[in-house]
Structures are given as structure tokens and as C-alpha cells.
Amino acid sequence: MTHLKSPSILIDNTSRTDAFVSNLLAGSSEIFRGLNGKTGLLFSKSEIKRFMDKEERHDVKILTKGTSQTLKSMSSGEQKKALLGYILQHDPDFLILVNPYDNLDVDTQAVLKEQLLAISKTKTLIQMVSRLEDFLPIQSVYYKLMGDTLKKYTSHDSFLKANQYIESQFTGTIPPPLHSIEVAGEVLVRFKNVSVGFEGHKVLDSIDWSIKKGEFWQLIGPNGSGKTTLLSMITGDSHKGYGQDLTIFGQKKGSGESVWDLKKKIGYYTPSMTDKFKGHHNLEDMVISGLYDSVGLYNYATDQEKSLALSWLKLLQLDDKRNMKFLSLTTGEKRLVMTARAMIKHPPLLILDEPTAGLDEKSTGLFIALVNKIAKESDTTVIFVSHRKESGLLPKFDYILKTNLNGSTGKVKQHAYN
Ligand SMILES: Nc1ncnc2c1ncn2[C@@H]1O[C@H](COP(=O)(O)OP(=O)(O)OP(=O)(O)O)[C@@H](O)[C@H]1O
């Protein structure tokens, strides 16, 4: 085959990545003709999702062969390891990597980068990433995918120069809520000596964590350290909190609180919430639906609610699109709208779980600016979960999980810039 210098392709909100990948895998690429007729495999989050659905629907083990765990219950790092193992077993001619390091902590990223670098010596790697820092340092030809069009750069320098990150800001202020949600006491959430495990596998060890009103936290920890487990105890999505010394909004966990009541006080967003969303709701409805704790609006909105949604969309500079379908937005725009949806009621607690995964530089900058603004201008406590230290994010505290044999331990770090 015509040997391809592993192409490096920057993708952004406009890129039709799925269509591009499908063409490559189907052997019908107009651009990389040398690959047509060769076998390619895809390493991406969507591919993990596809296997997850397949394993669940047909009750089979494909990526999880040899383990008793389901793919769904594995941490992101474990899932990616399973996919890479499967791909290597099948020895393809080329590999397409779409944002391979998303949702991975620094150490796991470093291990994966080493593995991919080694693979790049014998196979063509097609890297498709949203962040410049995610390109592997290999001899490459650089491109940008704009819609379906691939723009080729003459040099690495010209590529970097054209695609540097630009800092973004919002003008205007966070719209106030229609009604305030009262919570008694200063402490919203308190974990005291909380330990959690799954079937003999210890995940969290003696967690002590107090989260007060109005604070801004970043929850950081390697893959599998228990971030999601910790959050699901707060949101009521896991029963692991019962029988432990865990107090949420002044009420001891397991003392008869309803999950519904909990959800009313929490704004939550994680990208997988809308990955499968197929509704025909417009932007205005999506923002208003946060008042009803639904994703998409199933009630008639009042004029007051509509006007509040409009204020949010103005802040996001998306008001001219308010009657457009949510699904027609770019990934970055969708995340801004979903954050406005989670925040519209000014919940006492806003949880954003890996909200920047897969976003390009510009959209990440905009998203971070919005979160900083929410934390600064409202009384809402923000927990931003990420394995990546987001540059520009200004949390007051980090809660850092560190993995150990007996489960992860937690440590608080306060930032000096506040
Ligand atoms: N239902 C379950 N059954 C068995 N093991 C589980 C279950 N849920 C989570 N685990 C395990 O608990 C550990 C912590 O998982 P968790 O998803 O909380 O980590 P995380 O820090 O959120 O990881 P990531 O950053 O990769 O999403 C992992 O080893 C995971 O495999």
C-alpha cells in the first residue's frame, strides 16, 4: 500500500467526524486512497459505546472477555484498555483514533501515548483530536476537518499558528432564579469516614469531605479512583451511601429522604446525558426543562419562564437560535445550553461531570469561562469533575482522590488565587 505518513487531523465543532470515519472504514475515502481496501479499526468513545450496547443487548462478552465485570461498570481507563486490547488482537492495517485521551487521567494518558507511539512504528495511525496538546509527536501531515472538507497545512508551524487557543469571555450577568431554593445550614454535603467497595474490590477509603454553600470545587482523580461513585452517592443514584456517615442538605443519607427531593436541589450535567437525546425540542425548551428536572420540556412554559430562558440564551449569545432544534447545535453549544438548563433554577449544588471531554480549544475556553462566571456570580456550590487540570478554571478548592490498595483516599487543596 502507499505508505501514509500518519495524518494528524484537528477536529472542531464543525467537523463531520462520524461521516469522515465511516468513509475511511468503508474504504471509500477520496483523500486517503492508499487506505482503501485495507482493514481499519476505530479507537474512540463512540466505539466503546457501540460495544457496550452490543454486549448488553445480546448478553455477550466481547471487550470484557476474561472478566466478570460489565463494560458499563468499568472506569473510562479500563474501558479504553479493553478496546485497545481487542483492536491489537485483530491486527488491523490502520487505526483511527478519535480523541483517544478523553476522560483519561494524566498517568493513564501517558501509558496510552507510549502504546500508541509504539504502534505508530508499524501501522498508520490517523489521529483525529480536538486539542492540539493531544497530538502524538510523530512525523505527520497536518489537516483540519471543517465540515466534510479537509484542509491541508504546508507545515507544522503554519498549522499551529492558525489553530492556537483564544481566550473567551462572556458579557452580561448570570440571570437570577424565579424562586430561591432554601437549604438549612452552611454545610451542603458531608462525608465522614465513608468507605465503599464492590464485591470485595475497595474503591473509596475513609473519605472525609465537607462541601459548603457557595464553594467552587474541582474533583480530581485518576481513572477508576471513584469520582463517579462519590458523586452518585450525592445525587442518590447509588445506594452505597446508606449505612454510612453521609449527610446531604442537612439530612442523613438513608433517613427517608426522597431521591426526587434530592434531585430538585441539584443541577447536574454530564455529556452522556445528551449523547442519546433524540427529542425535537428547541433551545428555549431545553433551558426551561431544567425547572422541571427533565431533559426536554413536556409542560407548557409560562411567559416568565420563557423570558428567563431568553436571558440565559442572550448571555450565551444563542438567543437568535432559540427556536432552533437543540440537536442542530454544535457539541460546544449543546454543552453551554445544558449548563444553562442545569443552572436555571440556581440549585444549591451544581455538578458538572467531565463537561469538557471532547471539546475543542475554543469551546473549552468558552465553557470554562461560563463555569467561572456561575461560581462567581451565584450562591450555587459548583463541583467540576475532571481528570485534566483545566487551564483557566478557578476553583477555590480541589478534592483530590489518590488510589490505594484499600481504596482511594481524599485530600483537600485550597487555591491561593481566591
Ligand atoms: N457497579 C459496579 N460493579 C463493580 N465495580 C464497579 C461498579 N461501579 C464502579 N465499579 C468500579 O469502581 C471503581 C471506581 O469507578 P468510578 O467510575 O467511580 O471511577 P472514576 O474515578 O469515576 O473513573 P473515570 O474517571 O474513569 O470515570 C472502578 O474500578 C470501577 O470498575
Give the distance (Å) from ligand 1 centre to CA of residue 276.
21
pLDDT value of position 168: 67
- Domain presence at residue 410: yes
Spell out which residues line ligand 1, taking CB within 6 angstroms: 69, 73-78, 103, 198, 203, 221, 223-229, 387
pLDDT per residue as tens digits for the range 376-412:
999 999 999 988 778 889 999 999 999 999 999 999 9
64 & 198 share domain: no
Ligand 1 nearest atom to the CA of residue 76, by list position: 26
User: Is a pLDDT exceeding 50 seen at residue 3?
Assistant: no
Nearest CA to ligand 1 atom 1: 73
Q: What is the pLDDT of residue 238?
A: 79
State whether 267 and 342 are in the same domain: yes
Which atom of ligand 1 lies at the shortest distance from residue 79's CA?
Answer: 26
Ligand 1 atom index nearest CA of 221? 21
Which CATH number goes with the domain that contains 38?
3.40.50.300
Order of all β-strands in the sheet with 245-248: 201-212, 187-198, 245-248, 251-252
Q: pLDDT band for position 263 (50/70/90)?
A: confident
Using the mean position of ligand 1's atoms as its centre, give its distance from the Cα of residue 74 in Å: 5
Q: Is residue 177 part of a domain?
A: no
Ligand 1 pocket mutation, candidates 229, 235, 385, criterion most atoms within 8 A of CB: 229
Q: Which residue has better confidence, 6 or 206? A: 206
Establish if 192 belongs to a structural domain.
Answer: yes
Pairing verdict, β 245-248 and 40-43: unpaired
143 and 261 belong to one structural domain: no
Q: Do residues 69 and 198 lie in contact, with contact meaning Cβ atoms separated by under 8 Å?
A: no
Q: Confirm if 289 and 297 have CB atoms less than 8 A apart.
A: yes
Do residues 408 and 285 both lie within one domain? Answer: yes
User: Do 44 and 129 share a domain, yes or no?
Assistant: yes
The preferred substitution site among 68, 105, 203, 351 for testing ligand 1, maximizing ligand atoms within 8 Å of CB, is 203
Q: Which of 45, 111, 112, 225 to mutate to test the pocket of ligand 1 (most atoms within 8 A of CB)?
A: 225
Phi-psi sector, 66: left (phi>0), alpha (psi -120 to 50), beta: left
Averaged pLDDT for residues 296-306: 88
201 and 156 assigned to the same domain: no
Widest CA span of the chain, in angstroms?
A: 69
Q: Which of 162, 197, 216 is the last residue of a domain?
A: 162
pLDDT value at position 305?
95
* Nearest protein Cα to ligand 1, atom 29: 224
And the C-alpha cell for 410?
481524599
Classify the complex by whether its ipTM is higher than 0.90, answering yes or no. Answer: yes
Atom of ligand 1 nearest to the CA of 229: 18
Last residue of a domain, one of 147, 162, 177: 162
Do 236 and 295 reside in the same domain of the chain?
yes
Find the domain containing 382 and state its range.
187-414
- The stretches of 121-163 forming alpha helices (DSSP H) are 156-162
- Closest residue by Cα to atom 6, ligand 1, is 73
Q: Quick check: 47 and 83 in contact, CB under 8 A?
A: yes
Whether residue 142 is found in the same domain as residue 199: no
Does residue 388 belong to any structural domain of this protein?
yes
- Has residue 103 been placed in a domain? yes
Residue 171 pLDDT > 90: no
Domain count along the chain: 2
- 157 and 252 co-located in one domain: no
Q: Which residue's CA is minimally distant from atom 13 of ligand 1?
A: 224
Residue 169 within any structural domain of the chain: no
Of 162, 179, 214, at which residue does a domain stop?
Answer: 162
- Domain match, 140 and 246 both: no
336 compared with 56, residue with greater pLDDT: 336
Residues ≥6 apart with Cβ < 8 Å to 297: 281, 285, 286, 288, 289
Q: Are residues 157 and 191 in the same domain?
A: no
Give the pLDDT mean for 188-202: 91
